A and B are shown apart, each in its own frame.
Chain A
Amino acid sequence: GDSVTQMEGPVTLSEEAFLTINCTYTATGYPSLFWYVQYPGEGLQLLLKATKADDKGSNKGFEATYRKETTSFHLEKGSVQVSDSAVYFCALTGRSGGSNYKLTFGKGTLLTVNP
C-alpha cells in the first residue's frame, strides 16, 4: 500500500536558520503530494501541494519539489521564524478504491524555532 516516510523529529533551529524536512513516498500511479502544518491545539492546515512530477509547491516562504525519480518531496525554508514552530506532515493522495482518493500521512515532524 501507499506509505510516506518523513524525518523524525524533533527538529530544533534558531531563528533565521535554513530548514529541510525530508519526505519520501511509496505509491502506485501518480499521487498528488502535500505538506500540512499543525499548530498547537489546531487542526491541519494545507501548506503547499504539487500534483505532478517536477512541480514546485510554495507558500509563506516554504517550498517543496515533486521528484518522481527519487520519490521525494522535501520541505525547505530559507529562514525560519519562531512562528513556524509546529508539526509538519507530508502526505499523498492515493486511491482508496475505484476513483476515490484518501490522504496517507507521514508521522509528522515537530519543529521548534528558538529566538
Chain B
Amino acid sequence: DSGVTQTPKHLITATGQRVTLRCSPRSGDLSVYWYQQSLDQGLQFLIQYYNGEERAKGNILERFSAQQFPDLHSELNLSSLELGDSALYFCASSVDGLNNQPQHFGDGTRLSIL
C-alpha cells in the first residue's frame, strides 16, 4: 500500500461529458502529480501541484484542469471527453518535489469513454 488513494477506480462515460478524478496523497507529502497511461503514449506527466499551487505542466490538454486543495487532496477535471481520453490516470505524491525524492503512486482511475 503506497498510501496514495485514488477514487473512483473505474469510470465509464460518454463523449462530450465531464468527469472528476480525486486523489489523496500520502500523509506528509506536499507535492501531487498527475500522469496518464495509455497504450499508444505510455506514461505521460500531466501536471504537478505543491502545497496548493500549480508548479509545472506537462502534456496536459486545455480541456483538462486540476487543483490541489488546502487539505492537500487533488482533483483532475476532464471535460468535453473524447474517445482518445480513455486511459489509466495515476496520481502520485512526494514529500517536496525535489529531484531525488521518489514519487509514490496510487492504483489509478481507469477511464473508459464510450
Task: Report A's interface with B, CB cutoff 8 A.
Answer: 30-32, 34, 36, 42-46, 49, 51, 89, 93, 96-98, 100-108
Contact = CB atoms under 8 A, between A and B. Distances in A.
A contact patch SS: strand
B56 A43 contact: no
Interface residues of B, number: 27
Contacts, number: 67
A30 to B, nearest CB: 8
B98 interface: yes
Interface of B: 2, 4, 6, 33, 35, 42-43, 45, 48, 50, 55-58, 90, 92, 97-100, 102-108
A31 B45 contact: no
B45 A51 contact: no
B45 A96 contact: yes
Contacts of A89: 43
